[in-house]
Structure 1
Amino acid sequence: MGKNVYSSEVKWAVIKDKMTGELSNREIMEKYGIKNVSQIKTWMKWYRENQIYRLNQPIGKQYSYGHGLEWKSEEDKRNSQIEQLKMENEILKKYLELRKELKKK
């Protein structure tokens, strides 16, 4: 039995769904085909501890020095950083929106 590999897009989507609080861990696992709840907890831990570079690392590849992928070009690196920032921005917007709704109640 091999290890499951999840794309960075799936990881960010899971974090976004978890931050909204609309879905339970079980529902998130079913939605994205995640086998174990500890995977969600790990990704959330990385996000909370601002170790977001780890979300882009391939399985079994731990970058102890560079803190991230080895890039083919500076443009690839910039494009990846832009995509990552866009995903973070979406999460923060949703969080602020939910916070605003909760204050109204």
Structure 2
Amino acid sequence: MTRVSYSSDIKWSVIKDKLAGKLTTKEILAKYNIKHRSQINTWMRWYKNNELYRFDQPVGKQYSYGQGPEGKSEQEMKDRKMMHLEMENEILKKFLAIKKELNGK
């Protein structure tokens, strides 16, 4: 059995699809050809715990001190952080819209 490595783009796409709630976990597994749902759960846990550096880690490589792969430019790290904050902003907007809709009824 070989290890499967997913690109950070796939990981972020999965997170975005999962947070949007438009696809079920089974549909996400099929769409991105992911072997098991626990992989999605792991990525979601990383996202919720704000461990964004883990999305760029290669398989089996753990970064305890620098919290991220060497060689990433500061601009790339800022871009990742910006993408994370934009996703959070989208989620908050959806939450507030739902809250407003429920309070209005």
Distance in 1 between residues matched to 2:19 and 2:79, nearest whole Å:
19
Matched with 1:18 is 18
Matched with 1:88 is 84
Distance in 2 between residues matched to 1:29 and 1:96, nearest whole Å:
26
Matched with 1:39 is 39
Deviation at 1:7, TM superposition (A): 0.8
Structure 1 residue ranges, 4+ long, deviating more than 2 angstroms after superposition? none
The alignment's TM-score, normalised by the length of structure 2, stands at 0.85
Distance in 1 between residues matched to 2:55 and 2:77, nearest whole Å:
12
Deviation at 1:46, TM superposition (A): 0.9
Q: Residues 20 and 94 of structure 1 are in contact (CA less than 8 Å); yes or no, is this contact kept in structure 2? A: no
**Structure 1 runs not aligned, ≥5 long:** none
Structure number with bigger Rg? 2
Deviation at 1:39, TM superposition (A): 0.3
How do 1:1-105 and structure 2 match up within 5 A? 1-71=1-71, 76-103=72-99, 104-105=101-102
Identity within the alignment, %: 45
Distance in 2 between residues matched to 1:13 and 1:7, nearest whole Å:
10
Highest relative contact order (Cα 8 Å, sep 6+), 1 or 2?
1
Q: Note the aligned Cα RMSD (angstroms).
A: 1.5
Number of aligned pairs?
101
Q: Residues 19 and 95 of structure 1 are in contact (CA less than 8 Å); yes or no, is this contact kept in structure 2? A: yes
